[in-house]
Amino acid sequence: MSDIPESAPAAPATGAVSPPAVEVRHRGLITLSIMLATIMQVLDTTIANVALPSMTGDLGASQDTINWVLTSYIVASAIMTPVTGWLADRLGKRELFLVSIVGFVVTSIACGLAWSLSSMVLFRLLQGVFGAAIVPLSQTFLLDINPREKAGQAMAMWGAGIMVGPIIGPTLGGWLTESYNWRWVFLINLPVGVMALLGCLAFLPRVPRKRRSFDMTGFALLSLAIGSLQLMLDRGGEVDWFSSPEIWLYLLVSISGFWMFTVHILFKEHPFLDPQMFRDRNFRIGLLFIFVIGIILLASLALLPPMLSRILGYPVITTGWVMAPRGVGTMISMLLVGRLVRKVDPRLLVVAGLSLTAVSLWEMTGFTPQMDAWPVIRSGVVQGLGLGLVFVPLSTVAFATLEPRFRADATSLFSLVRNIGSSIGISLVTAALARNVQVNHAELGTFIQPFNPVLAQVSPAAIARDPAALQMMDSLVNVQAAMISYVDDFYLMMWVSLAAMPLALILRRPGRT
């Protein structure tokens, strides 16, 4: 069977360069401006997390209700991401991108000036609405302004912003919160957003608009399904998952919404998302792949900060610096893979990246409470290298054979699936962690009894039921139970990485250029 799919465009002659979909001047300045906006938006997925404890007192919120600062942004962004394609056609890609940047900056300032929890949640909702289009449109523009031969390099630039942003978010957020206060976590978007806006105003090309009817029914069904899914994932840990009727309701609504949406777009004359885009094999597999990458990328980022703080006793700033080399590994692989993707089969790069990711997660299963920072740094660099090798070839191959008219909808769907994967991954490892801590504590606690000769040698005071000694032993058991639970989660993600490898064999390599 040929490696070139039937829908692939004919490759140009050797040495020829196919023209980009949109001819532009100052391609480098356009890329810089687009990436500033992208990094600004992606940073906000993780930068606010470390500031939540500081916000709680200032906004008069409780430990439970402060999480709505995160939930409101995630839900609003998830619901508005699929509508990016339609808005881009109706308003124009350039116009929508500029409006999104302005709206995101203004709502970021409003978040920094929020005076209560309700005002903060409202501003975060609006921030999610405006920010939803930035990432998919940035990918669309980079694909449009670059010839197909340079798509790999363009996706390397885009992938660097997408992947490094969440990694440096906790570091930057922790530094801003401790050095200034939590409001600067949002106000920092002002200078970055202004530079991005000025660059886009000056250099971003105008793209003809398209008249396209809006499928309100399809949008409503998809919004209902996505919103319910995000609420289920966010609220699950607080209400003990499926022991709560609330979670069952969210699950039922989400499944029903996705089912009705699928039926609707298959039979609607002008559906919200054109099902013809799913005929492209690489795009279908790419969506499945990016879902897995979303699970791995942010799930490990969600586990490491509390582990470093709770078990190793690192302050926020130290945690940020220990995790920062992960971003260095990602940047190195991005610089390399942008060139390699033109010379090496992208599928081999994906397998190599997943292998490095699995190796790093295997190394993380050897973490102990007595270790220093070096194992975290070393495994982080390897994981950054691996994820970078996966992300760029995957983004390149997934859109290589897709018709340009589907790009705006396809990139928004790509971003949505990645974000859903991240949400599911975080919820999965968090739920597994909470359950395993209880199980491991119960199992380890059975060894603390007067008939255990080892305990008698280690702590005779505990045998004598001295309260201080018993409290110390319980503290040690808590630490060990938590460490074992983190290790179990790293094992789980390692197997997810290995299980994703066969998907690379299903991808088809685009024609050589």
In whole angstroms, give the CA distance from residue 356 to residue 379: 10
Q: Residues of the chain with pLDDT > 90: what percent? A: 12
DSSP assignment string, 441-506: HHHHHTT-STT-HHHHHH-HHHHTT-HHHHHHHHHHHHHHHHHHHHHHHHHHHHHHHHHHHHHHHH
> What residue spans define the domains of the chain?
22-210, 215-271, 274-513
| List of residues 6+ apart from 296 with CB closer than 8 A | 357, 387, 425, 493, 496, 497
279 vs 211: which has the higher pLDDT: 279
Q: Please provide the average confidence, as pLDDT, over all residues in the chain.
A: 80
Query: What is the mean pLDDT of the segment spanning 56-62?
Result: 77
* In the predicted structure, residue 217 carries a pLDDT above the cut 50: yes
Q: What are the Cα distances from residue 156, in Å, to 10, 32, 304, 395? A: 24, 13, 26, 9
* In the predicted structure, residue 10 carries a pLDDT above the cut 50: no
* 58 CB neighbour count, 10 Å cutoff: 15
In whole angstroms, give the CA distance from residue 4 to residue 267: 30
173 vs 386: which has the higher pLDDT: 386
Which residue, among 234, 225, 289, 262, has the nearest Cα to 417 in the 3D structure? 289
> Per this entry, what is the length of the chain?
513
pLDDT-based confidence at 22, cuts 50/70/90? low
* In the predicted structure, residue 8 carries a pLDDT above the cut 50: no
Q: String of b and e for 316-347 (b: at least 16 CB within 10 Å)?
A: beebbebbbbbbbbbbebbebbbebbeeebbb
How far, in whole angstroms, is CA 400 from its chain's centroid? 22
Say which range, 151-155, 181-185, 234-238, 487-491, has the weakest mean pLDDT. 151-155
* In the predicted structure, residue 473 carries a pLDDT above the cut 80: no
Contact between 149 and 513 under an 8 Å Cβ cutoff? The reply is yes
Contact between 250 and 234 under an 8 Å Cβ cutoff? The reply is no
In whole angstroms, give the CA distance from residue 510 to residue 513: 9
For domain 274-513, is the CATH number 1.25.40.10?
A: no
Say which range, 239-243, 293-297, 358-362, has the weakest mean pLDDT. 293-297
Query: What is the mean pLDDT of the segment spanning 113-142?
Result: 88
Q: What is the pLDDT of residue 4?
A: 38
Could you tell me if residue 482 is left (phi over 0), alpha (psi between -120 and 50 degrees) or otherwise beta? Answer: alpha
Q: What is the pLDDT of residue 106?
A: 95
Q: How far apart are the first and last CA of the chain?
A: 19
Query: What is the mean pLDDT of the segment spanning 404-427?
Result: 81
Contact between 112 and 184 under an 8 Å Cβ cutoff? The reply is yes
Q: What is the pLDDT of residue 219?
A: 86
* In the predicted structure, residue 2 carries a pLDDT above the cut 70: no
* In the predicted structure, residue 163 carries a pLDDT above the cut 80: no
pLDDT tens figures, 425-446: 878 888 888 888 888 777 776 6
In whole angstroms, give the CA distance from residue 33 to residue 199: 5
In whole angstroms, give the CA distance from residue 133 to residue 140: 11
In terms of Cβ atoms closer than 10 Å to its own Cβ (0-12, 13-18, 19+), residue 152 is buried
* In the predicted structure, residue 289 carries a pLDDT above the cut 80: yes
Contact between 350 and 331 under an 8 Å Cβ cutoff? The reply is no
How far, in whole angstroms, is CA 365 from its chain's centroid? 22
Q: What are the Cα distances from residue 356, in Å, to 269, 322, 351, 486, 487? A: 45, 19, 9, 20, 18
* 370 CB neighbour count, 10 Å cutoff: 8
In whole angstroms, give the CA distance from residue 47 to residue 165: 9
pLDDT tens figures, 372-395: 889 989 998 998 888 888 877 887
Q: Residues of the chain with pLDDT > 70: what percent? A: 86
CATH of the domain spanning 22-210: 1.20.1250.20
